[in-house]
Amino acid sequence: MSSIPTTVPAVDAEAPDDPSTGRGRRKAPRSERARAEARLGWWLAGPAFFIMVAVIFYPVLQAFWDSLFSYRLTAPEEREFVGLANYGVIFSDPVFWSALGVTTLITVVTVFVELILGFILAMVMHKAIKSTRGLVRTVILVPYGIITVVSAFAWYYMFSIDSGYINNWFSWVPGFDGQLNWFAQGGSALFVIMFSEIWKTTPFISLLLLAGLAQVPDDLSEAAAVDGASWWQRLWRVILPNMKAAIMVAVLFRALDAFRVFDSIFIMTNGAYGTEVLSLLAYRTSIGRLEIGLGSAISVVLFLLVGLLALIAVKGFNVDLAGGRGGRK
Amino acid sequence: MSTETLTPEEAEGQKHAQRARRNTSIGWWVITIVVAVWCLFPVASILATSFKTPGELSNGKFLPDNPSTGNYEEILVGDSQELFLSALWNSIGISIIATLIAVVLATLCAYAIARLDFPGKKIVLTVSLMVSMFPVISLVTPLFNLWRSIGLYDTWPGLIIPYLSLTLPIAIWTLAAFFQQIPWELEQAAQVDGATPLQAFRKAIVPLAAPGVFTTAIIAFFIAWNDFVYGISLTSTEAARPVPAALAFFTGASQFESPTGAISAAAIIVTIPVVLLVMLFQKQIVAGLTSGAVKG
């Protein structure tokens, strides 16, 4: 599930330098009062800030340090410094590349499908008549709120050869004998995995897009309609360009989230039949086989990949997350 | 309304308009039902499975032939009772504590961001954004190691602390967005009217801020409730293992019996709070998830 902030507060972090905010005292040298305010600010924000830093940055540094050692928890006395050798092992292992490929495939496919479905859902929520609006929003929040593991089990049992009924339901489809063991080969297993991921996270993306839709001025679309633009033209020329920022933020958040996919795969195949992803590889190396050195190295690589993705999105596509003002050139 | 004064053409036009409105309305209900089926189908599916007896699991049908509550009995009063109820207790306790701590700290932090000028405001927001994007699995290995050496492995605090890394960032962002929208001048206005600062804060600000804080708590709770990676990595026994992890490792009352039914029943029980919260607070949750989002 997305643990990412879905809201982008319009905090004017630059406000202190901006005389237009009416806080003119910034122009003067820092007064006693401003210093007191700054002190109070840190007293209030400090605890939360400190905990976040401690819970994230200490383990990151530790993981990087551990990744430089050949270190198995089962044989602690054999711990030795090996430099970047663990990274060499990872990059020369086809298992890593296959996991990276599968992770990328899942990310690209799910985010693409979710963007389309999410936009349709957002349109439905935006335009729905009053009597159904509340209902749509309620049902849409069920997949959002449900535990990912529960969703994974639901989809798994639906398709499973032992307890499923999907095979039975679709046995009339020509060329489908109704005996398919969905989780016994990569392709069909990934299909179900992606299906469940899409079901679970489309509501989230649709809510972000809904926020974007609400920002598109209605009169723009109406004016275009008066000028004779078709629905399709209005969508592509008026609505989508005006919600580019929302789309960018939604895609970035979901892509980073999808890249960390773990729960569904753990439940459905546990990485068998070519469905291994990076998170699962890291988990199985360090927690499963207790190879702390190698596992840490995979963790660091995963972390750097996520960072790189975020950086590309922020720099390359100009998504200003902190200001929530994406897509401005 | 009298139709007698209308010319036939006008009456005809009105009927058309009415019919068109009714058609739109029917259209919307059809769309709503399609969306509802899509969103609820997997839940209905696991609900149906939870009422199947072991013999019926492979009947290849959606519904059980003879619905039975055997699976619920197994996890609530039967052989798997201890396993499930302790996991449920762990999940409830750990998620609520992690939510409360996160919401209290985030409220202070978001208040400072919304109301005060202090250097580093942007750093706080940027760091919380970075934390929220962080791959949880990268933290697991070092925490696993550290927790084992300082005795936090397989304990409640051992999960509550890492859960803060999940709940704090979203709480800070959501609350900061909420607090930006509060008309803080009300506080001064109340003081001008003779209220003490504390009264002004309590009477003018708390009622405005409370819904935002409450909504944030629900969203943070969902996230803690959903955690799986920390749950399977940092626990090993019933002492702290939360429900999602317990479900994944549940093997059934005996090795000859498939755990499918019992897992489905447990899954339904942990989904009930989610469905209740969503039904009661749909408006607030949607507002919380979209508030202040993407001002362009």
Give pLDDT, residue B116: 82
Q: What are phi and psi of A210, to 5 degrees?
A: -60, -45
B44 has a pLDDT exceeding 80: yes
The three-class DSSP label of residue B258 is coil
Q: Out of A141, A249, A303, name the one closest to residue B138 (CB).
A: A303
pLDDT number for residue B252: 60
Cα–Cα distance measured from residue B169 to residue A285, given in angstroms and rounded to the nearest whole number: 28
Q: How many angstroms separate the first and last alpha carbons of chain A?
A: 32
B144, B151, B156, B240: which is closest to A283 by C-alpha? Answer: B144
The residue ranking higher by pLDDT, A297 or B186, is: A297
pLDDT of residue A12: 43
Planar angle of CA A312, A316, A318, nearest 5 degrees: 115
Interface membership of B117 toward A (CB under 8 Å): yes
Architecture (CATH level 2) of domain B80-290 = Orthogonal Bundle (1.10)
Does residue A272 or residue A8 have the better pLDDT?
A272
Residue B228 pLDDT exceeds 80: yes
Q: Which residue did the predictor score with more confidence, B150 or B180? A: B150
pLDDT for residue A154 = 92
Residue A4 has what pLDDT? 44
ipTM above 0.90, yes or no: no
Contacts of A51 by beta carbon, 8 Å cutoff, 6+ apart: B105, B164, B168
**Nearest CA-CA distance, residue A227 and chain B, Å:** 24
CA distance B250 to B296: 48
CA pair distance A146, A148, nearest whole angstrom:
6
Alpha carbon of A200 to those of A77, A142, A258, B35, B269: distances in Å? Answer: 45, 9, 11, 13, 18
Tens-place pLDDT, residues A64-105: 888 888 888 777 777 778 888 889 888 998 999 999 999 999
Least CB–CB distance from A52: residue in B45, B165, B263: B165
- Residue B79: its pLDDT value, please? 78
pLDDT value for A213? 84
Report chain A residues whose CB lies below 8 A from the CB of B224.
Answer: none
pLDDT tens, residue by residue, B65-93: 888 888 888 888 877 888 889 999 999 99
User: For residue B4, what pLDDT is reported?
Assistant: 53
Distance CA B99, CA B80 (A): 28
Q: Per mean pLDDT, which of A80-94, A260-274, B90-104, B191-205 is the most reliable? A: B90-104
User: What is the rounded average pLDDT for all residues in chain B?
Assistant: 84
pTM for the predicted model, two decimal places? 0.84
| Measured CA distances, B104 to A246, A300, B187, B216 (Å) | 29, 32, 21, 11
Overall size of chain B counted in residues = 296
Of A267, A293, A272, A274, nearest to A282 by C-alpha is A293
Question: Looking at the complex, does the CB of residue B62 fall below 8 Å from at least one CB of chain A?
Answer: yes
Strand pairing report for A80-81 and A69-70: antiparallel
Does residue A36 sit within a domain? no
Helices (H), ranges, chain A: 32-66, 85-91, 94-127, 130-145, 148-159, 166-169, 186-215, 218-226, 231-234, 240-242, 244-259, 263-268, 278-283, 292-311
CA distance B216 to chain A (A): 11
Determine the residue among B133, B225, B283 to mutate to test chain A binding: the one whose Cβ has the most chain A Cβ atoms within 10 Å. Answer: B133
Residue of A nearest to B161 (CA): A55
Mean of the per-residue pLDDT values for chain A?
Answer: 81
Taking only residues 230 to 269 of chain A, the set having a beta carbon closer than 8 angstroms to any beta carbon of chain B reads 242-246, 249, 253, 256, 259-260, 262-263, 266-267
Q: Is residue A148 part of a domain?
A: yes
Nearest by CB: B286 against A131, A137, A139: A137
Chain A residues within an 8 Å CB radius of B146: 59, 62
Domain extent at residue A233 = 15-25+93-316
The tens digit of pLDDT for each residue in A116-174 reads 999 999 888 888 777 788 888 889 989 998 999 999 999 999 988 888 888 888 877 77
DSSP bridge partners of A80: A70
Closest by CA to B232, choosing from A296, A265, A137, A232, is: A265
**pLDDT the model gives residue A109:** 95
CA distance A60 to chain B (A): 7
What pLDDT score was predicted for residue A317?
A: 67
What local confidence, expressed as pLDDT, does residue B173 receive?
A: 84
pLDDT value at residue B295: 34
Q: Do B286 and A141 touch (CB under 8 A)?
A: yes
Taking the C-alpha atoms of residue B119 and residue B257, their distance in angstroms, rounded to an integer, is 61
For A13-38, write each residue's pLDDT tens digit: 444 444 444 444 444 556 888 888 88
Lowest model confidence (mean pLDDT) among A196-210, A236-250, B211-225 = A236-250
Q: Residue A127's closest CA among A187, A53, A214?
A: A214
Residues of A in contact with B40 (CB under 8 A): 139, 142
pLDDT attached to residue B45 = 92
Residue A53 domain flag: no
Percent of chain A's residues with pLDDT above 90 = 20
Q: Which residue has the higher pLDDT, A251 or A323?
A: A251
How far away is chain B from the Cα of A190, in angstroms, using its nearest Cα?
18
CB B50 within 8 A of CB A163: no
Residue A157 lies in a domain: yes
Give the pLDDT score at B254.
59
Average pLDDT of the segment spanning A217-245 = 82
Q: What's the mean pLDDT in B103-120?
A: 87
**What is the number of structural domains in chain A?**
1
CB distance A1 to A200 below 8 Å: yes
What's residue B12's pLDDT?
Answer: 73
**Domain assignment of residue A324, yes or no:** no
User: Structure tokens of B147?
Assistant: 């927790």
What is the predicted pLDDT for the residue at A5? 45
Q: How many CB pairs under 8 A join A and B?
A: 393
Please report whether residue A62 resides in a domain. Answer: no
pLDDT, tens digit (0-9, with 9 covering 90-100), for A202-219: 998 898 888 888 778 878
Q: What CATH number is associated with residue A176?
A: 1.10.3720.10
User: Within a 10 A sphere around the Cβ of B53, how many other Cβ atoms?
Assistant: 15
Interchain proximity B289–A124, CB inside 8 Å:
no
Q: For residue B38, name the pLDDT band (cuts at 50, 70, 90).
A: very high
A55:B162 CB<8 A: yes
Query: Which residues in chain B have Cβ-Cβ distances shorter than 8 Å to A123?
Result: none
Q: For the residues A221-238, what does the mean pLDDT come to? A: 82
Within a domain: residue A65? no
For B276, the token pair is 């209740």
Any idea where the domains of chain B sit in the sequence? 8-50, 80-290
What residues in B contact A42, CB-CB < 8 Å? 112, 118, 120
